[in-house]
Amino acid sequence: MQLPRCGVRDKVDLGLDARRRRRRYTLQGSKWPRNELSYRISKYPQSLTDRVAVDKEIARAFKMWSDVSPLTFTHKETGPVDIDIQFVRGEHGDWEPFDGPGGLLAHGLYPRYGGDAHFDDEEKWTIDEYKGVNLFQMAAHEFGHSLGLDHSNVPRSVMWPFYMGFVPGFQVHRDDIDGIQALYGKQHPHGFARRTSSSSCVRFCLALYWNTPPVGRFLTARAVRPVPAGAALPRNGSAPAKREGTWTLTERWRYSFDNRAMMRGGLYTDGE
């Protein structure tokens, strides 16, 4: 009996002998030229009527990859996006029509072909259930294709082509991590706390910060320094009087961004 599976054709030998010889990921050959990617669900599944729940599962699937790489994913309701997600049936305008319940469940297009992800809407998509097909697990797999990964011959990996049923605690395998990092590099060791807007992005690490456009490379790093003693601190997350900016709270620090000025538990300005 053929197991339900991803519709992307295999380029890796999945036989037992091959898995014994070489257990590793496979790269498709294309990747995105930037790390900041956007997506939209343009057609939702009929079997899941709670769209908010679907949005959460899709975001979880993207987070699986962003947690182990420098990639970021933004859900957009309007405008152009990098990855378009659709739940469709049968022939739907690409190279691989769906075949109804069972068989081919979904497929993700590689970056060079647009990166979109298609799911068979005749399947019963479910969330945290043993019945049907788990949306989170299949989405994580298809998004691996959308990012440039091919199938792996490691059975417990996300990129294993066969759907093995609902797996509580499903998580990325070391083989998947090696694959995505071979394409995009490792996640920054210290992470970034950041606030984004429609026109700019401020990123910082330790005592340095960068101003960047929404899409593009980092600009010159700048140091931060405290304003002389006596600068008023905000209380309860509100900005000081007569100051503009958007406040972001974390467990230990407050951050405010106003052009190139920021606050971190106190008032800071750029190091020029």
Question: pLDDT tens digit string along 70-125?
Answer: 999 999 999 999 999 999 999 998 878 998 898 999 999 999 999 999 999 999 99
From the list 36, 57, 122, 142, the catalytic residue is 142
pLDDT at 6 over 90: yes
Residue 9's pLDDT is what? 83
Structural domain harbouring 204: 193-270
Q: Do 69 and 91 have their domain in common?
A: yes
Q: Do 88 and 165 have their domain in common?
A: yes
CB 96 within 8 A of CB 105: no
Q: Do 178 and 259 have their domain in common?
A: no
Q: Do 218 and 172 have their domain in common?
A: no
30 token code pair = 């294309």
Q: Do 51 and 107 have their domain in common?
A: yes
Question: How far apart are the two ends of the chain, measured CA to CA in Å?
Answer: 68
92 has binding-site annotation: yes
Of 135, 152, 184, the domain-final residue: 184
100 token code pair = 């109804």
Q: Do 117 and 239 have their domain in common?
A: no
Residue 25's pLDDT is what? 74
> Strands 83-88 and 36-43: what pairing?
parallel
161 token code pair = 């082509």
CB under 8 Å to 18, separation ≥6 — which residues? 12, 153
Tell me the pLDDT band of 241, cut-offs 50, 70 and 90: very low
CA–CA distances in Å: residue 271 to residues 47, 201, 208, 220, 232? 55, 18, 9, 12, 20
d(CA 141, CA 260): 39
pLDDT at 227 over 60: no
128 has binding-site annotation: no
Q: Do 64 and 32 have their domain in common?
A: yes
Q: Where are the alpha helices (DSSP H) in 148-239?
A: 174-184
CA–CA distances in Å: residue 38 to residues 3, 72, 82, 95? 32, 8, 5, 24
CB 132 within 8 A of CB 47: yes
Range scoring the smallest mean pLDDT among 9-18, 45-54, 98-107, 123-132 = 9-18
Q: Please, what is the average pLDDT of the chain?
A: 78
96 has binding-site annotation: no
Of 149, 184, 219, the domain-final residue: 184
Range scoring the smallest mean pLDDT among 8-12, 123-127, 132-136 = 8-12
Q: Do 110 and 150 have their domain in common?
A: yes
Contacts 24+ apart (CB under 8 A), 225-233: 225/268, 225/269, 225/271, 226/266, 226/267, 226/268, 227/266, 227/267, 227/268, 227/269, 231/266, 231/267, 232/267, 233/265, 233/266, 233/267
If one counts the domains in the chain, the total is: 2
Of 124, 156, 184, the domain-final residue: 184
DSSP 149: B
- Identify whether 142 is a catalytic site residue: yes
Q: Do 202 and 170 have their domain in common?
A: no
Q: Do 179 and 197 have their domain in common?
A: no
pLDDT at 245 over 80: no
10 has binding-site annotation: no
190 has binding-site annotation: no
Q: Do 119 and 149 have their domain in common?
A: yes
CB under 8 Å to 79, separation ≥6 — which residues? none
270 has binding-site annotation: no
Q: Do 20 and 102 have their domain in common?
A: yes
Helix (H, G, I), strand (E, B) or coil at 175: helix
39 token code pair = 């997506």
pTM for this model (two decimals): 0.69
d(CA 246, CA 259): 10
What is the domain-level CATH number for residue 165?
Answer: 3.40.390.10
